[in-house]
């Protein structure tokens, strides 16, 4: 937008009476306790009465609803949807222990999170398939929070990039004098409980104040098997954690692979590639599911989610302190520091992962030359053939020495129903650790001419360390040939003179006769032969640790000036604020040596491991400059105007942006007011989106398995922009207060990661139409490039791009009614409803193929770059306060929505049902400054609605824990702060 356009836009809107806020007269003590930081303006006002749609949640409000975790609080907000907090490893790709905020379902990266009005550093790891960095709200110490302000509209004119969907401002306490100790215990079916302990100390005098808080949270792990809805049979949900690449596995004769590459053979599921395979004879004995396809062909399926957790063991520490001092000159100093650490020490996952390259390579004569090849004289194979004549005949027969007549390809993973040796034969374990440091300081004062000034500095750093295990590609191939342990698992080098299965060399046995029992049920395997079991030493040799340490840094300098101008409007003097900002962002990606592609590219250039791709080191930073101005114009006694504009410069190819904002409030009568605002907003690409390659693991439906999806950064990205507006009304009379707001966002150049589902769909359509030269096919690595098929997909390339436009609009309705002079106390009712009218996405192109272009409201959105979007959510409450007692009931409702992919389970129903739950809360003030809180969340123990997903529910929308009990105790020691 040109400067001329901005001026015309601003003057025209001001003439139409866009509005602002009024400042109430307060005593000094009232002012200290009242709102000081107002989200949405650098000129003080009253948030919920302002022109902007701001909701304020105080610590007291949250206490009445059981002091929920920030994750639960955010999920329950009507304006929030598509949350990646509490998601599992199948939905968020390594974000365990973190949480974020997603206003309007527009993406967590589009909600700006502030602490005391200042920016906070991004969490190191992005939301996997979206490449969106976000602020980890789990690092914010709840014990220090006095209130949370939620601005439900764009605010880039004041705050800059990321405030495109709104702002959430966590503001620390100003009311604490003395010591406050709190503790809570929470439990639900399947858990050993969750603990939350905190201490906060406040001290205040005429010139100084001090606040310190410490928090500790511990969560016990909750296996998925504790929830009967979380692990379902294949026949009830074939995408519910079931893989066609398991252990026991499936075996394909070498001749069938050769026939497939020649374009002949038996068509079946493995199929679309014309490869006939045969399930391990012990498949069903060990609890796997065998799919039969005719012609004697079959596939052994493995359910990996039986080894996973719904909740990981999690331990978190948080420390926060702030100091405030007023000098005799009137200058004020504010210093704050934050430290937080989240440790997930035993992240549970499948005993092993499937290989990306499922089948081996075959030469021109049909001979297998590489891959998971089982030699004809393999001990496990010989025993299997001897004990299972039908299987022996199916795979090509046996020679006079008891060996197979041909080699077999093993379609499977190294460990499955056996569990992982050395861990009690259960899941493999990885770990995650997140650490955040933050120091912030403000110095403020007033010039002799009455102008207020504030300078501030923020330095913050967030570091995350993730470790996971995977099988070596070369080691796995060597071990099948009998050179396990004695060879180099990484490089594949075999010592000269080594003999298969002898002299310290071991065979890896992929057959079910190596498994003693089902690791989940403990049921013994009748076909087990101890002499053929895989050793713990072999398992540890075959498996290596992958991992990356990622560090994000943030430095922000702000200088803000404000005051009253000599200009007057009919309603009074014009207030103003102006400021500058320098922001420095840095990001470093440091993989372990085994994972470093510059050191260890592996046999295919994607690293040495069979499932998890390697990482390229990255270290970059940038400077961002901004200036802004804001005006509060009391146009009339009952009409206030806010006008703001911000210029922000990223430099380089990204360039700069200029964004105006106008807002208005018209107090029509004493009880009724109208408000509205309009603005442009923007979000610049983050460092991880501009360069480098990140790899996520996503379920690729045609393969029946998770596959590597490589995300390529894009240095040519432009900032995404949005025009948004809000028109609303406020009605207050007696004990009633109600607001209604219509909101609208119109996005352009949305920064997204191309959807692998859309790429796969377009590629398969091209194959089906005979367009084998379509550029879209270059995005996919096929097992057989000559005869590409959906089942043969090995990995997919996606790019971060400026993608579709989005138009979304809806309605927020909120009301509260209080009867305060009743004989028995105070009774209040209220609630909020958010209804989304539309969420229209425009088509965009991937390599010349048009994709997308639909209204995605009321959808699960697993086939596009967006998150779940129920059409409406509602929260209704009733509250009774009588003496020291407070009783509260909350009804929460989430609308039903469709899985746009259609029915995948065979029951001809793709709808995700609505959910209505009831929560009850009781708080009482006891003698000796004790408070007691009791909560029952989801009183009727409603399960999350079924969804066609790995854990059979939508983790972005629904709470999976069922009926939850919580007890909280607080003890105050007042007077210690004097």
Tens of pLDDT along 568-621? 899 899 999 999 999 999 999 999 999 999 999 988 888 999 988 889 999 999
Rounded CA-CA distance 558/457 in Å is 7
909 or 734, which is more confident? 734
What was the pLDDT predicted at 82? 82
Would the pLDDT of 916 be above 90? yes
Asked if residue 534 lies in contact with residue 513, where contact means CB atoms within 8 angstroms, the answer is no
Under the banding of pLDDT at 50, 70 and 90, the label for residue 301 is very high
Residue-wise pLDDT for 855-891, tens only, equals 999 999 988 888 899 999 999 999 999 999 999 999 9
652, burial (CB in 10 Å: exposed 0-12, middle 13-18, buried 19+): exposed
What was the pLDDT predicted at 360? 61
Provide mean pLDDT across the span 565-569: 89
What was the pLDDT predicted at 927? 94
H/E run at residue 973: strand 964-974
β-pair partners for 782 = 793
Give the least confident one: 68-72, 682-686, 811-815. 68-72
What was the pLDDT predicted at 785? 78
Angle value at C-alpha 481, between 475 and 486, nearest 5 degrees: 55
Beta strands in 779-871 (DSSP E): 780-782, 793-802, 806-822, 825-846, 849-855
Would the pLDDT of 940 be above 50? yes
First-to-last CA distance in the chain?
55
Under the banding of pLDDT at 50, 70 and 90, the label for residue 362 is low
Under the banding of pLDDT at 50, 70 and 90, the label for residue 264 is very low
What was the pLDDT predicted at 46? 44
Provide mean pLDDT across the span 166-184: 93
CA 119 to chain centre: 20
673, burial (CB in 10 Å: exposed 0-12, middle 13-18, buried 19+): buried
Residue-wise pLDDT for 798-809, tens only, equals 999 999 999 999
Provide mean pLDDT across the span 711-715: 90
Would the pLDDT of 198 be above 60? yes
Provide mean pLDDT across the span 301-330: 95
Asked if residue 908 lies in contact with residue 869, where contact means CB atoms within 8 angstroms, the answer is no
What was the pLDDT predicted at 858? 95
Provide mean pLDDT across the span 183-204: 96
Provide mean pLDDT across the span 466-487: 95
What was the pLDDT predicted at 57? 86
What was the pLDDT predicted at 2? 38
Produce one character per residue of 852-881: b if its CB has 16 or more CB atoms within 10 Å, e if not: bebebbbbbbbbbbbbbbbbbbbbebebbb
Give the least confident one: 29-38, 505-514, 535-544, 670-679. 29-38
Q: Provide the whole-model pTM.
A: 0.90
How many helices (H) and strands (E) in the chain? Answer: 13, 46
Q: Are strands 222-223 and 373-374 parallel, antiparallel or unpaired?
A: unpaired
Asked if residue 53 lies in contact with residue 812, where contact means CB atoms within 8 angstroms, the answer is yes
Name the H helices within 248-406. Answer: 254-261, 379-387, 389-394
Give the least confident one: 157-166, 220-229, 309-318, 331-340. 157-166
Give the least confident one: 17-21, 242-246, 752-756. 17-21
Under the banding of pLDDT at 50, 70 and 90, the label for residue 8 is very low
The encoded tokens of residue 257 equal 């692979």
Under the banding of pLDDT at 50, 70 and 90, the label for residue 977 is low
Half-sphere exposure of 179 (CA within 13 A, CB side): 6
Provide mean pLDDT across the span 712-729: 93
Would the pLDDT of 834 be above 60? yes
What was the pLDDT predicted at 476? 95
Would the pLDDT of 262 be above 80? no
Under the banding of pLDDT at 50, 70 and 90, the label for residue 361 is low
Rounded CA-CA distance 651/648 in Å is 9
Under the banding of pLDDT at 50, 70 and 90, the label for residue 270 is very low
What was the pLDDT predicted at 787? 75
Q: Which positions ≥6 away from 15 have C-beta within 8 Å? A: none
Which among 386, 372, 414 has a CA at the least distance from the CA of 252? 372
Q: What is the DSSP annotation of 199-242?
A: EEEEEE-SSEEEEEEEEEEEE--EEGGGSTTTS--TTT-TTSSE
Q: What is the mean pLDDT of the chain?
A: 88
H/E run at residue 560: strand 543-569
The encoded tokens of residue 289 equal 């599911």
Half-sphere exposure of 853 (CA within 13 A, CB side): 7
Rounded CA-CA distance 320/457 in Å is 17
Q: Are strands 368-370 and 361-362 parallel, antiparallel or unpaired?
A: antiparallel
């Amino acid at each position: 937008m040109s400067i001329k356009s901005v001026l015309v836009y601003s003057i025209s809107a001001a003439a139409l009476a866009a509005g602002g806020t009024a400042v109430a007269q307060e005593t000094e003590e009232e002012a200290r306790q009242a709102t000081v930081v107002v989200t949405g303006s650098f000129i003080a006002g009253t948030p919920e009465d302002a022109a902007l749609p701001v909701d304020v949640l105080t610590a007291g409000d949250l206490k009445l609803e059981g002091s929920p975790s920030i994750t639960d609080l955010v999920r329950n907000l009507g304006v929030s949807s598509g949350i990646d907090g509490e998601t599992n490893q199948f939905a968020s790709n390594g974000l365990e222990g973190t949480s974020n905020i997603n206003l309007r379902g527009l993406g967590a990266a589009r909600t700006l999170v502030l602490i005391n009005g200042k920016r906070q550093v991004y969490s190191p790891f992005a939301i996997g398939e979206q490449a969106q960095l976000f602020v980890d709200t789990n690092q914010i110490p709840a014990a220090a929070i006095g209130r949370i302000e939620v601005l439900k509209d764009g605010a880039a004119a004041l705050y800059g990039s990321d405030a495109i969907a709104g702002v959430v401002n966590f503001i620390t306490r100003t009311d604490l004098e003395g010591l406050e100790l709190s503790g809570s215990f929470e439990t639900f079916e399947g858990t050993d409980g969750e603990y939350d302990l905190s201490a906060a100390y406040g001290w205040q005098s005429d010139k100084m104040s001090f606040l310190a808080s410490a928090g500790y949270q511990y969560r016990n792990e909750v296996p998925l098997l504790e929830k009967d809805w979380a692990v379902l049979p294949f026949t009830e949900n074939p995408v519910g954690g079931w893989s066609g690449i398991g252990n026991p596995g499936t075996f394909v004769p070498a001749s069938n692979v050769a026939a497939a590459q020649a374009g002949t053979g038996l068509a079946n599921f493995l199929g679309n590639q014309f490869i006939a395979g045969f399930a391990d004879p012990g498949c069903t004995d060990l609890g796997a599911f065998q799919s039969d396809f005719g012609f004697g062909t079959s596939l052994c399926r493995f359910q990996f989610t039986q080894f996973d957790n719904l909740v990981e063991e999690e331990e978190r520490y948080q420390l926060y302190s702030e100091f405030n001092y007023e000098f005799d000159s009137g200058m004020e100093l504010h210093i704050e520091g934050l430290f937080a650490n989240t440790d997930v020490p035993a992240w549970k996952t499948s005993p092993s992962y499937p290989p990306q390259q499922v089948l081996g390579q075959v030469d021109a004569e049909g001979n297998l030359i590489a891959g998971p090849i089982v030699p004809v004289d393999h001990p496990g194979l010989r025993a299997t053939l001897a004990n299972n004549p039908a299987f022996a005949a199916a795979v090509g027969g046996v020679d006079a020495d008891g060996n197979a007549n041909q080699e077999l390809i093993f379609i499977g993973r190294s460990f499955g129903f056996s569990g992982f040796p050395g861990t009690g034969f259960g899941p493999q374990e990885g770990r995650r650790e997140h650490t955040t440091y933050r120091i912030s300081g403000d110095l403020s004062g007033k010039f002799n001419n009455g102008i207020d000034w504030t300078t501030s500095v923020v330095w913050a750093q967030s570091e995350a360390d993730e470790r996971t295990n995977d099988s070596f590609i070369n080691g796995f191939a060597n071990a099948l040939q009998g050179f396990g342990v004695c060879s180099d698992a990484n490089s594949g080098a075999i010592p000269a003179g080594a003999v298969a299965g002898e002299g310290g060399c071991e065979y890896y046995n992929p057959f079910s006769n190596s498994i003693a029992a089902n690791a989940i049920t403990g049921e013994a395997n009748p076909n087990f032969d101890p002499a053929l079991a895989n050793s713990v030493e072999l398992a540890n040799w075959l498996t290596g640790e992958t991992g990356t340490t990622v560090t994000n840094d943030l430095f922000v300098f702000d200088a803000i000036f404000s005051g009253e101008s000599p200009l007057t409007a009919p309603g009074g003097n014009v207030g103003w604020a102006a400021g500058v900002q320098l922001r420095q962002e840095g990001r470093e990606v440091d993989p372990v040596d085994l994972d470093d592609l510059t050191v260890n590219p592996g046999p295919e250039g994607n690293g040495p491991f069979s499932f998890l791709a390697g990482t390229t080191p990255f270290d970059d930073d940038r400077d961002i400059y901004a200036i802004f101005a804001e005006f509060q114009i009391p146009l009339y006694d009952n009409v206030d105007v806010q006008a703001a504009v911000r210029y922000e410069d990223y430099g380089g190819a990204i360039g700069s942006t200029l964004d105006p904002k106008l807002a208005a409030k018209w107090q029509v009568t004493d009880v009724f007011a109208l408000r509205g605002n309009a603005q442009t907003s923007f979000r610049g690409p983050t460092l991880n989106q501009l360069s480098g390659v990140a790899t996520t693991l996503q379920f690729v439906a045609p393969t029946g398995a998770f596959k590597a999806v490589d995300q390529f950064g894009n240095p040519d990205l432009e900032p995404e922009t949005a025009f948004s507006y809000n028109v609303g009304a406020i009605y207050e009379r007696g004990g009633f207060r109600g607001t209604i707001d219509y909101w609208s966002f119109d996005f352009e150049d949305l920064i997204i990661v191309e959807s692998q589902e859309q790429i796969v769909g377009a590629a398969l359509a091209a194959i089906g139409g005979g367009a084998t030269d379509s550029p879209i096919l270059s995005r996919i690595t096929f097992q057989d490039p000559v005869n590409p098929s959906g089942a043969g997909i090995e990995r997919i390339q996606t790019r971060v791009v400026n993608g579709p436009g989005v138009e979304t609009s809806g309605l927020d309705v909120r009301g509260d009614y209080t009867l305060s002079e009743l004989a028995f106390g105070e009774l209040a009712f209220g609630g909020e409803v958010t209804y989304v009218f539309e969420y229209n996405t425009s088509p965009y192109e991937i390599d010349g193929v048009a994709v997308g272009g639909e209204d995605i409201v009321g959808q699960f959105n697993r086939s596009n770059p967006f998150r779940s979007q129920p059409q409406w959510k509602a929260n209704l409450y009733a509250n009774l306060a009588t003496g020291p007692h407070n009783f509260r009931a909350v009804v929460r409702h989430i609308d039903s929505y469709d899985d746009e992919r259609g029915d995948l389970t065979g029951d001809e129903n793709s709808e995700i049902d609505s959910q209505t739950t009831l929560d009850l809360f009781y708080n009482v003030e006891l003698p000796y400054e004790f408070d007691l809180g009791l909560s029952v969340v989801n009183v009727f123990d409603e399960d999350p609605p079924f969804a066609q997903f790995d854990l059979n529910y939508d983790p972005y929308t629904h709470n999976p824990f069922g009926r939850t009990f919580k007890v909280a105790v607080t003890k105050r020691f007042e007077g210690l702060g004097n």
